[in-house]
Amino acid sequence: MRYPNPSWMNSDLEFYRSNVRRFIETEITPNQHRWAKQQHVDRDLWNKAGDLGLLLADVPEQYGGSDGDFTHMSVLFEELAYAGDRSFGVHVHAIVAHYLLNQGTEAQKEKYLPKLANGTMIGAIAMSEPGAGSDLQGVRTTAVKDGNDYLINGSKIFISNGYLADLIIVVAKTDPTAGAKGTSLFLLETKDAKGENVKGFKVGRILEKLGQKGQDTCELFFDNVRVPADSLLGGAEGRGFAHLMSELPYERLMLGVGALAAVEMAIEMTLDYTKERKAFGQAIFNFQNTRFKMAELKSQAVVARAFIDNCIEKIVQGKLDTVTASIAKLHMSELEGKVMDECLQFFGGYGYMLEYPIAQMFADARVQRIYGGTSEIMKEIIARSL
């Protein structure tokens, strides 16, 4: 593949990219079909990635990370997209780590970040509920004080990494009458000393999805799940909504980076196909419609690359704001859906067959406009800034 040359790349990152690519080629690509059938990746993939320092590359070394920055994570997100993989839930895992790094107490950082970094713990975030998706103020899961502990009751749905997770950040209401100010985040260790689910915690079925089939996505149930008071993220009640809002730029840029890389891969793949495939005695690429459409898609991808690279530079400098990150998420996810649809068209009937990567990429792309904040929510955030 002819990869783009991001403005933030340097020789160290090029070396890092080659290591990431080798890991994906060896450990991920050969297993993608099997993981899609079992609906989750193998547990030891996390340990292997942790051993190479890939899981938390942008977390300080003192907490077990690799002491890099968002450019290192961008390389990982790009390479996974270039390989057509949306099974490895490292994206959610990284978000969990950043909640801890930026919002957690020192004791919480020291306890959990090294385990998340080496893969002995897998992270998940339990936000969405059957009646509350993008509307986090509608969360009905509760956490009620009981002595020195809290009792969590409720259910969650569409939880990525939910099947394998060892540590879950649970969004719950500590004061149901206080609206957003009554929301708190809890750190739930899912296993007890015997390696079994903690009392009252149940993992539901792995949900059958349109795409991203190798990524485990589950329902979670909490029935008087007892957690100690020191599991409250940051050590204070009512800070949950603020915690969630503060980490959104990281999450949304991360999704934008992966979306653009998928766009670049789809264009590359389609160019190769149209130059090889013949119709009416000539390569499909030789028809003006094909050339003009591919020129249009390429132009959009190049312009998008300039914007994403600028956002990556800003987040490294600590200057990426929520509105700009929301623009990145909105534009890139919408562009991904458009490009996948138009590229698939050039494959004709073959594009509808799942054995062709473009069909799987088309299916995988659809949820990008939903999770991490829907396109409609992104528009609302942007509109409020106008």
Which residue numbers are catalytic? 251
Residue 338: closest CA among 311, 357, 370, 366:
366
- 3-state SS class at 236: coil
Residue 64: closest CA among 15, 13, 112:
112
The residues with which 172 forms a beta bridge, in sequence order, are 184
Cα–Cα distance for residue pair 283/177, rounded to 1 Å: 65
Cα–Cα distance for residue pair 83/81, rounded to 1 Å: 5
Strands 167-173 vs 123-126: parallel, antiparallel or unpaired: parallel
Instruction: Considering only CA atoms, give the Rg of the chain.
Output: 21
Q: How far is CA 32 from CA 48, 78, 82, 88, 244, in A?
A: 16, 17, 14, 10, 32
Instruction: List alpha helices for 39-127, DSSP H.
Output: 43-51, 70-82, 90-103, 106-118
Strands 278-279 vs 282-283: parallel, antiparallel or unpaired: antiparallel
> With contact defined as beta carbons under 8 Å apart, do 88 and 364 qualify?
no
Q: Which two tokens stand for residue 28?
A: 């991920």
Residue with tokens 């690429």: 285
> With contact defined as beta carbons under 8 Å apart, do 308 and 257 qualify?
yes
Backbone region of residue 146 per phi and psi (left: phi > 0; alpha: psi in -120 to 50; beta: other values)? beta
Angle at Cα 259 formed by Cα 256 and Cα 260, nearest 5°? Answer: 90
What φ, ψ does residue 383 adopt, rounded to 5°?
-60, -35
